Amino acid sequence: MSISKLEFRRYSDPDFSLLDQEWRKIKTRLIVGIILLNIFLFLSGFALLIPYIMAMRSYEYIKMLQERERVDKLIELAKIRVGDYNARFAIFALVDMKVKDAAFILNDLQEEAVYIFTNFSKKLQKALDVLAAKLDYNSAEEMLRLLEKPTQRYGIVPSIPITSVYYLDDEPIKAKCMISDLLLDFNDDNVVACPSCGNLAKRELLIEWLEENGSCKICERKISMRECPIVKVRE
C-alpha cells in the first residue's frame, strides 16, 4: 500500500523522530496510569513507577547509542525479542537513522508479532512506512522489494546512516572501488560510500561518475556527492 502524500511529507521530514514519538506515547500512558491509580486506588499507582523508570532508562540508553552512531549495537538490540523496551526503541532509532537493515528486521519482527501482539504489529508496519518515506520510496513493499537486489559486491558497508563521516571498526577485506573495480587503500585513498547501498568508491572517481550519470553505479539510485559519507577505519 502506498504512503499518502500527507504521511510522506510528515515522515520524510528530518525533524520527525519515530523514537521520540514512541517514548512520548509510552511516557504519557504510564504517567496517566500512575495518576489515575493514585486517585482511585490511593497508593497503588506507584506500581507503575517501575515500568516507567525501565522505559525511561531504555530510551536514554538508545538515544545515547543513536547519537554515537552505534549502528552495530542498535541492530543487535533490535533483534532481542518482540516487546522489549530496548528492542523497540533500538529499531525505531535505526529508522530515524535511515539504516536499510532496519527494513528487514522490521519485516521479520512483524511476521513474529502478528500472531502475538496485534497492536505492536501495527507499530512495526508504521515504522516500515516511515523508513520507506525517509529513504524516498513510495511504499514499504517497494522498499523491501528493491532493497533485496544483490547490490553489495564491493566490500562493503551494509548499512550507512546519514552522516558526514562513517567509521568502520575494521578495514574490509579486499574492498574494491565500485567505479574502477580496483582494491581500495584506506590509508591513501579518499574513500566514500553510496548512502543508499553502501558500496565504496574513491571520491574523485565517484565525482566524475556522478557528473556524467547522476546515480550510483551499483544500485542506480539518484544521489549527490554531498550525500556520500567519507569512510574511515577507526584507529
Q: What is the pLDDT of residues 18-49, one digit of tens each?
A: 999 999 999 998 888 878 777 766 556 566 77
Instruction: Specify the residue for cell string 553489495.
Output: 152
Out of 25-29, 110-114, 161-165, 178-182, pick the least confident: 161-165
Q: Where are the domains of the chain?
A: 5-146, 165-233
Q: How far is CA 55 from each of CA 51, 199, 200, 225, rounded to the nearest angstrom?
A: 6, 37, 38, 39
CA–CA distance, 137 with 130 (Å, rounded to integer)? 10
Cell triple for 115: 500472531
Across 46-85, b (16+ Cβ under 10 Å) vs e yields eebeeebeebeebbebbbebbeebbbeebbebbeeebeeb
pLDDT single digits (tens) 100-145: 888 888 888 877 665 555 577 788 889 999 999 998 888 888 888 8
User: According to the model, what pLDDT value does residue 152 have?
Assistant: 46
CA–CA distance, 196 with 82 (Å, rounded to integer)? 27
The type of residue at 85 is Y
Assess whether pLDDT exceeds 50 at residue 13.
yes
Asked whether 94 and 71 are in contact (CB, 8 A), the reply is yes
Assess whether pLDDT exceeds 60 at residue 183.
yes
Cell triple for 67: 547519537
Residue 208 has φ and ψ, to the nearest 5°, of -60, -40
CA–CA distance, 199 with 126 (Å, rounded to integer)? 28
User: Among 209, 196, 202, 109, which residue's Cα sits nearest to residue 149?
Assistant: 196
CA–CA distance, 108 with 1 (Å, rounded to integer)? 18
Identify the CATH assignment for 165-233 out of 1.10.510.10, 3.30.40.10, 3.40.50.300, 3.40.190.10.
Answer: 3.30.40.10
Kindly report whether the global pTM for this prediction surpasses the value 0.75: no
